């Protein structure tokens, strides 16, 4: 029998011959990185020690016969792929790009990764961002979403493109014969999450600690994926910023039949006798035939998420009401002035009488006293203020509050907030103004027309929000050293993200409960499809 000391000596010699040792460490992550598809080459680490890998295909290009198909696996490549530039942005239904970026193309399904991990064994928490844009525009390439500041706080940041507009959400009975149609954009998001699960360990991330987060349509996507059977196991926490169910003043998202009727009418409009005819048309022609702008409610006036009985089995809010959602931690909230980009959306309000008449048609004569207690309209000025408040509530805020209420019943950690921070840099706490604070990018606040540069107070506040978000991604709890305590959501308590940050009662609870009282099985009334959103100019009002 070999003695213990002699055995140890023999093993040490063998390890030396093999060129390793028992204390060997994994190789440091560098610019060149091997993933399942091939080798990537990024730029060297930046001054924060972060590596950025851009434009990685997570699915095959959805072109030609793959147009309006579920995303297919991305092909492997030979040699080393340049990962220093973003991939192309998806074709947009909105022609007014807010900022420059890569060209738009039907071939756009790429993903970007920021990592400060030293080795592939670091197992850092992962945060996957889903961009907004009403499911009509937007991309992962916006300067707002640059991931270095968050990644330098110890997480892996991932952003992705997904198909939008008609190329992402066309439903048609002929397409159903090939596979469930209607939500290709959401299927893209699921494919990206599967890519993350399969590959993120190579970047030093932990595929078992994934948080999805998004704003506006991105937050609606988060809320929808939480009730999709196809998303099981792909993420463990969720953050929703200004979105939840894709509900609107016209009721819930489109039903199975409504979406297919829209698709059939679209094919007829283009004189297409078959799906083959549609696929033969240039993508730009298809896209141009389904335009969108802020005069149209994207949820019921154009192509966007719908009940396809596959990705979305039923109305999302109904699944939450039945406790059919994921049992995971949730952090979600709304901004003080959500109505700002949608100030044209809402009930007619050129004068108090017009507003009261429209409200009665929507909410019923028997509840007008209750309505006017919450949204008074004794004067034209008061009606104008109440119209703005109702717009923000019904387009965005109430459904987020309802989301928090539903998720609280799962007994999982739930945290709610209201973002109210203002400064010369952000004079209005409008829809989307929290994004540069969450990412630490502090890019210009175009949506409110502000060009003032950020000050040190803005940077300090951003640092606190980043820490809250990162803490939640790590542990399911936003609290941490040096931060004002954030209590769990309950009995109307939310975190007031302003200066100073503090917990407080939800001052809109009564208004939210009034709107929520119209939900049946969690769903807003379908009769609101016929509600007039036409104001003094006679133009159809906008939505998210």
The total of other beta-carbon atoms located within 10 Å of residue 409's CB is: 12
Cis amide leading into 309 (omega within 30): no
- The catalytic position among 220, 340, 431, 496 is 431
Sheet holding 32-35, edge to edge: 32-35, 38-41, 80-82
CB 125 within 8 A of CB 424: no
Q: How far apart are CA 184 and CA 64, in angstroms?
A: 15
Written as one string, the DSSP assignment of 292-314 is: --TTS-HHHHSS--B--SSSS-S
- The catalytic position among 146, 338, 339, 434 is 338
Active site residue 387: no
Alpha-carbon torsion 473, 479, 481, 482, what sign? positive
Q: How far apart are CA 1 and CA 116, in angstroms?
A: 49
Q: Within a 13 Å sphere around the CA of 152, how many CA atoms are in the beta-carbon half?
A: 14
Active site residue 338: yes
| C-alpha pair distances (Å), 298 with each of 94, 195, 292, 295, 441 | 11, 29, 7, 9, 28
Active site residue 485: no
The β-bridge partners of 38 are 35
User: SS3 sequence, 211-242?
Assistant: EEEEECHHHHHHHHHCCCHHHCCCCCEEEEEC
537's torsion region: left (phi>0), alpha (psi -120 to 50) or beta? alpha
First to last CA, the chain: 76
Q: How far apart are CA 118 and CA 39, in angstroms?
A: 18
Instruction: Give the alpha-carbon dihedral of 346, 347, 350, 355, to 10 degrees.
Output: -140
What the block records as the tokens of 32 is 């060149």
Residues noted as catalytic = 216, 338, 431
């Amino acid at each position: 029998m070999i003695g213990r000391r002699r055995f140890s000596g023999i093993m040490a010699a063998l390890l030396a011959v093999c060129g390793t040792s028992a204390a060997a460490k994994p190789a440091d992550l560098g610019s060149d990185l091997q993933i399942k598809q091939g080798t990537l080459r990024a730029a060297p680490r930046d001054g924060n020690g972060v590596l950025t890998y851009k434009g990685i295909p997570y699915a095959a290009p959805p072109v030609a016969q793959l147009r309006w198909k579920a995303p297919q696996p991305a092909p492997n490549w030979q040699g080393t792929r340049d990962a220093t530039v973003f991939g192309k942005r998806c074709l947009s239904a909105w022609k007014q790009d807010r900022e420059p970026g890569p060209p738009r193309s039907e071939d756009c399904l790429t993903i970007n990764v920021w990592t400060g991990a030293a080795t592939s064994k670091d197992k850092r928490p992962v945060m996957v961002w889903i961009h907004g844009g009403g499911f009509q525009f937007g991309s992962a390439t916006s300067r707002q979403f640059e991931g270095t500041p968050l990644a330098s706080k110890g997480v892996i940041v991932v952003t992705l493109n997904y198909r939008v507009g008609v190329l992402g959400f066309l439903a048609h009975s002929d397409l159903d014969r090939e596979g469930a149609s209607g939500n290709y954009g959401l299927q893209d998001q699921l494919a990206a999450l599967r890519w993350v699960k399969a590959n993120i360990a190579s970047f030093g991330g932990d595929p078992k600690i994934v948080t999805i987060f998004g704003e506006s349509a991105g937050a609606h996507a988060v809320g929808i994926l939480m009730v999709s059977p196809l998303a099981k196991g792909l993420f463990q926490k969720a953050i929703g910023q200004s979105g939840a169910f894709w509900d609107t003043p016209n009721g819930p998202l489109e039903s199975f039949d409504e979406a297919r009727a829209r698709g059939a009418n679209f094919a007829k409009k283009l004189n297409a006798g078959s799906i083959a005819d549609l696929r033969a048309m240039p993508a730009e022609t298809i896209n141009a035939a389904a335009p969108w702008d802020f005069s149209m409610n994207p949820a019921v006036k154009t192509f966007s998420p719908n009940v396809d009985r596959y990705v979305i089995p039923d109305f999302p809010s109904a699944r939450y009401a039945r406790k059919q959602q994921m049992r995971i931690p949730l952090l979600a909230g709304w901004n003080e002035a959500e109505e700002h980009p949608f100030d044209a959306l809402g009930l007619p309000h050129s004068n108090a009488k017009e507003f009261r008449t429209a409200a009665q048609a929507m909410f019923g004569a028997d509840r007008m006293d209750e309505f006017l207690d919450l949204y008074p309209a004794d004067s034209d000025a008061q009606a104008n203020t109440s119209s703005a408040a109702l717009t923000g509530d019904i387009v965005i805020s109430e459904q987020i509050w309802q989301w928090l209420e539903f998720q609280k019943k799962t007994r999982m950690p739930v945290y709610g907030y209201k973002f109210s921070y203002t400064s010369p840099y952000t004079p209005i706490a409008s829809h989307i103004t929290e994004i540069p604070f969450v990412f630490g990018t502090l890019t210009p606040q175009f949506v409110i027309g502000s060009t003032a540069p950020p000050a040190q107070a803005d940077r300090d506040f951003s640092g606190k929000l980043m820490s809250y978000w990162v803490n939640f991604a790590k542990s399911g709890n936003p609290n941490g050293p040096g931060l004002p305590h954030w209590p769990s959501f309950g009995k109307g308590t939310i975190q007031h993200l302003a200066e100073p940050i503090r917990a407080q009662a939800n001052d809109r609870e009564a208004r939210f409960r009034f709107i929520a009282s119209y939900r049946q099985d969690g769903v807003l009334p379908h009769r609101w499809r016929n509600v007039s959103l036409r104001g003094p100019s006679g133009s159809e009002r906008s939505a998210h």
